[in-house]
Amino acid sequence: MQAVLSFEQAPPIAAPFRFFLTAPVFTGLAGLLLMVDGPESLSSRWTGGALALTHLLAVGFVLQVMLGALVQILPVVAGANLKRPLLVASLVHTLFVLGALLLVAGFLDIFPFAFPLAMTLLGTAVGFFLLAGLLSLRGVPSTSASISGFKLALASLAIVLLLGLLLAGSMAGYWAVPMLLVTQLHVNWGFAAWGLGLLSAVAYVVVPMFQLTPGYPVWFSRYFGSVLTVLVLLTSLLLLWAEPEWVAVFQVVVIWLSAAFCCLTLWLQARSKRAIPDVTQRLWRLAMICGLLACSLWMLVHLVPSLDDWPAWPILFGVLVLVGGFMSVIVGMLYKIIPFLVWLHLQNRGRGKVIAPNMKAVLGETKMKRHLQAHLATCALLIAAVFWPEMLSRPAGLALLVASGLLLANLCSAIGVYRRHARLVDERLAILAEGVEA
């Protein structure tokens, strides 16, 4: 059963947009860091530069946009109204941005108190959002796969946050934890249960709606999120109990399940009613292909033990998942959600008396295609830089910086359209009101 959309419950446009607008700044900082740090950031997953780069992308961009999207999606898709959404969004966003910057400063060892400050701010921001989100979902029946997926994803995010705080506290010297084990748990819950879990819950709505495809099979959407979460939980328990043979079995199943989602989404896209794929479809297609490549890489490394000694394979896996996968699909969603939200809020503001501009007038296809080309170049250069870091790490950083700038410019352009037309709507309504009074 598909979710019933309630657009009249949409929060103020400023609530989600503040997250969307600052997210490209973090990918731009990642590009700058790669340009400055060069091959050092790609030499090992454990260097300060690599950890900072990873969290600029995973926290600063991916998590930030996901939180902003949930501010919009929870009331519209799940009917879960956040109390005072603008206040919640403002508070969470401010604390989140500061905390994410401090976290990166901690990895780069810029000043000694970065980690404890980051723990406080990020923990408060994400914890407060989780509390607000789970309270809004309390009593909301799971009448669709998307609503069930949102509940599981938010619970998974709580685990990701807890594990992240454990790691940050250990790096700050407050306590000692087995870093490799907790890092593996953090990655498993972050990429699979939280990231893919939320992505799938959103995909059940936005893929058929925006890409004009058939819906996901009921049997798949009903069970995918819960099976994925249970598998990650079982893998985590086995890791804690030191059962490597069974851990490998469950990890293989998680990888195959992730690959199945990618394959099914590509299959649905191939049956789209659109004669020519738009930018969003191309970005989603790129994301699913990169997801399949990441799954294939993981399987290959575990089938050929000698490849496990290659220190760059986790970095390649991270590039495929974070930049090729999550970033691509998130940008694809932004390029549909933002024009739609601008149109929706202007339409509501016009009260049926002043017509909102067409969504294509909010954000033109040419601008989106230009960014798509820059993003494709970034993905290609980052993948190549894993193999030839001395030669290509800095060009890859420059490409990421340029792509981030284009995305930010496109989002600012859409905001500019909203502000200009909002003034025109208000002026037109005032003129109509004067005419009625006369």
Q: CA end-to-end span of the chain, whole Å?
A: 51
126 within some domain = yes
pLDDT for position 121: 97
Would you say residue 145 lies in a domain? yes
What is the overall mean pLDDT for the chain?
91
CB 238 within 8 A of CB 250: yes
The CATH number covering residue 13 comes to 1.20.210.10
- Burial label, 242 (beta-carbon count in 10 A; 0-12, 13-18, 19+): exposed
Angle value at C-alpha 337, between 333 and 339, nearest 5 degrees: 125
| pLDDT at residue 242 greater than cutoff 80 | no
- 1 pLDDT tier (thresholds 50, 70, 90): very low
Q: What percent of the chain has pLDDT over 90?
A: 68
| CB count in 10 Å sphere of residue 420 | 11
Is residue 437 in a domain?
no
Across residues 101-111, what is the average pLDDT?
94
How far, in Å, CA of 105 to CA of 32, rounded? 14
AA identity, residue 314: P
Range of 415's domain?
A: 8-428
Question: Which of 326, 319, 193, 190 minimizes the C-alpha distance to 254?
Answer: 193
**Number of structural domains, the chain?**
1
**Per-residue pLDDT tens digits for 181-233:** 999 999 999 999 999 999 999 999 999 988 999 999 999 999 999 999 999 99
113-135 per-position pLDDT tens digit? 999 999 999 999 999 999 999 88
Over range 271-298, report the average pLDDT.
Answer: 94
Query: 434 in a domain, yes or no?
Result: no
In a domain, 284, yes or no: yes
User: Angle at Cα 113 formed by Cα 108 and Cα 115, nearest 5°?
Assistant: 60
> Is the residue at 274 inside a domain?
yes
What pLDDT does residue 364 have? 86
Q: Is residue 436 part of a domain?
A: no
What pLDDT score was predicted for residue 5?
54
Q: Residue 123 half-sphere exposure, CB side, CA atoms within 13 Å?
A: 14
Residue 90 lies in a domain: yes
Convert 171-188 into a string of H (helix), E (strand) and C (coil): HCCCCCCCHHHHHHHHHH
Looking at the predicted structure, is the pLDDT value of residue 3 above 60? no
Reported as a single tens digit per residue, the pLDDT across 404-438 is 999 999 999 999 999 998 888 888 888 877 765 54
Of 267 and 81, the one with more pLDDT = 267
